[in-house]
Amino acid sequence: EIRLVESGGIVVQPGGSLRLSCAASGFTFEDYTMYWFRQTPAMGLEWVSQITWDGSGTYYADSVKGRFTISRDDNKKSLFLEMKNLRPEDTGLYYCAKDMSSLQLQLLPDSWGQGTLVTVSS
């Protein structure tokens, strides 16, 4: 069974930093492109970032570029999102997801975690 479990979401002040983690199991993690999405009442579902299976390609939404960094540790089967200079509009439920097919960049997330809540507020 494919499982993705996010963690690390907390309440943080504007300008603060946070690191989200996503623990993967049930599939060959190192063969898949991975994604971060977020969901907010104001913006709905938003793509945040993605990293290719081999780590050679990282991509970011304009709203987070320069502030967020995606990374992966294939030995630990984990995905990370380093978040800096957080803003109130970064508040939301953050999901990690895997791509549908291995060794490709399909932009088709077919399995999602349950999310971790990030709140940016003073």
Which parts of this chain interact with other proteins (CB under 8 A)? 37, 44-47, 59, 95, 97, 100, 106-110, 112-115
What residues contact 45, with CB distance under 8 A and at least 6 apart?
37, 38, 39
> Least CB distance from residue 13 to other proteins, whole Å?
27
The smaller minimum CB distance to other proteins, of residues 72 and 98, is found at 98
The smaller minimum CB distance to other proteins, of residues 37 and 80, is found at 37
> Least CB distance from residue 15 to other proteins, whole Å?
27
Query: Residue with structure tokens 């975690």?
Result: 113
The smaller minimum CB distance to other proteins, of residues 23 and 100, is found at 100
Distance (Å) of CA 74 to CA 46, 64, 69 = 25, 24, 16
Distance (Å) of CA 27 to CA 7, 76, 81, 90 = 19, 13, 20, 30
The smaller minimum CB distance to other proteins, of residues 5 and 16, is found at 5
| Of 45, 35, 40, residue with least CA distance to 107 | 35
> Least CB distance from residue 17 to other proteins, whole Å?
25
> Least CB distance from residue 75 to other proteins, whole Å?
26
